[in-house]
Amino acid sequence: MDLYELPLIDVAEKIRTREVSPVEVARSALARLDEVEPRLGAFVTVTADLALQQARTAEKEIADGGYRGPLHGIPLGVKDLYDTAGVATTSSSAQRAENVPTIDSAAVAKLYDAGMILIGKTHTHEFAYGATTPTTGNPWAPDRTPGGSSGGSGAAVGSGVVHVALGSDTGGSIRIPAALCGTVGLKPTFGRASRVGVASLSWSLDHVGPLSRNVIDAALTMAAMSGYDRRDPGTVDIPVPDMVAGIDAGVAGTRIGIPTNYYTERVDPEVAAAAAAAAATLEGLGAELVEVTIPLPEHVLPAEWGIMTPEATAYHHDHLRDSPEKFTDEVRALLETGAAQLATDYINALRLRTLIQAAWKDMFASIDVLLAPTVVAPATLRSDPFVTWPDGTVEPATAAYVRYSAPANVTGLPSLSLPSGFSTAGLPLGVQIIGKPFAEPEILRVGHALEGATDVVGRIAAVTAQVA
């Protein structure tokens, strides 16, 4: 079995005991990248020389007794929104084609401190403003979308190139590709981790986090990249918990909310069935299922778009004025829409978010976590990114995919997506576990229990370099 196929903790143990070198691990990842990249297009930049240089440094540090922990020597993919010193950070846009940062983003710097090595920068939907990542194919079916905006990261993890890749999540951009690519994706609580050095889509909705092969990988990575940063006023000055300790404690007595509305509407039957099966599995492990009504459901998407659209336009104001032709038509149209939005509409969306947050807090008084599908349907075709419903209506993929993920962005609550099965067409399906503020250890514990009771988490897509 090749090194890239092993679980991260197994590779980490081999590195710790010096059974294998970080250089061997990096070469395994790069070889897998060469094998699958012609079909997937997951990477905008491959940093092979840098990866081997960092791997040699890690090898020497470990030989000298400087082992830093289970992420030391582990390859990493980084969404091309995150600044990386000396490595182009383009946001998959012509606007930043020549952008080479001189310092690392806060999250990348922390993961470098943990000893991770950079394999490359992964494609994003331009400036994260979409949910399909048109440049990239799904590892389970390259003619299908990997989701977005962190589609490159989802494809890189789902195909086995890396165990972990960074994403960002403003309306579901970590969890959507996680669900569609068969990986784990963790959006933390708003304020848990610094976004310094990450191109913004919507300042008050943006979150940073990992996509990974399994739940423990997500826990290790999220803990390493978390913490207060005075440069990011959105971060909260609270201790970072050990996100792995207690992860094996099980779910006996845990109250799991099962929605009776919103997450049950306009959803593919196979997606709904997979979520129901996940609930039944957790109940069989000792959890208590509690039916809940999602409050103010009709206001979630108006709040999401009412906040995101003008905040995105404000961030890109200068580029929209000076070089609008460098945006894709899709993103330019969205930014122009934001420019036309009234300030009163934005303020009302902010007020509406406060009401939604309060109502969700009340809902969580009777439950510990909420279990729901991550997205409404499996991956659509890249050539036809629309969901067609049984009544004949057609919904754009971005609008459809954001529908179930946006509530955790509007509320700022932590949400963990993990594989829940496969469709009859062989496409991954996902469920998400949403928790209370800063309860990442709890949703990870529930996710780990569900992971251990199924055989779908951690699978690697058998994509090859054969031309589609």
Catalytic machinery residues: 79, 149, 173
HEC assignment per residue over the chain: CCHHHCCHHHHHHHHHCCCCCHHHHHHHHHHHHHHHHHHHCCEEEECHHHHHHHHHHHHHHHHCCCCCCCCCCCEEEEECCECECCECCCCCCHHHCCCCCCCCCHHHHHHHHCCCEEEEEECCCHHHCCCCCCCCCECCECCECCCCCCHHHHHHHHCCCCCEEEEEECCCCCHHHHHHHCCEEEECCCCCCCCCCECCCCCCCCEEEEEECCHHHHHHHHHHHCCCCCCCCCCCCCCCCCCCCCCCCCCCCCEEEEECCCCCCCCCHHHHHHHHHHHHHHHHCCCEEEEECCCCHHHHHHHHHHHHHHHHHHHCHHHHHHCHHHCCHHHHHHHHHHHCCCHHHHHHHHHHHHHHHHHHHHHHHHCCEEEEECCCCCCCECCECEEECCCCCEEEHHHHHHHHHHHHHHHCCCEEEEEEEECCCCCEEEEEEECCCCCHHHHHHHHHHHHHCCCCCCCCCCCCCCCC
